[in-house]
């Protein structure tokens, strides 16, 4: 089973450049989340949470934050079980 996609279909790709201090801060944040949740967040999740915190400090309303950063509900994987093949050789 693969990971659930965490990037919106209409998202545009971009390149960001980080300083060493910024990389250290992101690693610290990832380590903290790893201890709390048991899985390491990817860079996109770290940046999204950081932006949410920044915008909250700027007094954006909940509705404005919801429009800018919709919460994605995880979807369960669809698993299909295939029946076992029957042997085509006759048994004697």
Q: What is the DSSP string of 42-77?
A: PHHHHHHHHHHHHHHHTT--HHHHHHHSPPPPP-PP
Q: Name the percent of the chain lying above pLDDT 70.
A: 84
| Model pLDDT for residues 49-81, shown as the tens digit of each residue | 888 887 788 888 878 877 777 776 777 778 888
pLDDT tier at 43, thresholds 50, 70, 90: confident
Is this model's pTM higher than 0.75 or not? no
């Amino acid at each position: 089973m693969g990971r659930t996609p965490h990037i919106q279909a209409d998202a545009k790709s971009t390149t960001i450049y980080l300083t060493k201090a910024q990389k250290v801060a992101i690693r610290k944040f990832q380590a903290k989340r790893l201890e709390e949740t048991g899985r390491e967040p990817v860079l996109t999740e770290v940046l999204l949470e950081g932006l949410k915190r920044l915008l909250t400090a700027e007094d954006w309303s909940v509705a404005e934050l919801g429009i800018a950063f919709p919460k994605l509900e995880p979807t369960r994987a669809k698993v299909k079980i295939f029946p076992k093949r029957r042997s085509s050789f006759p048994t004697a």
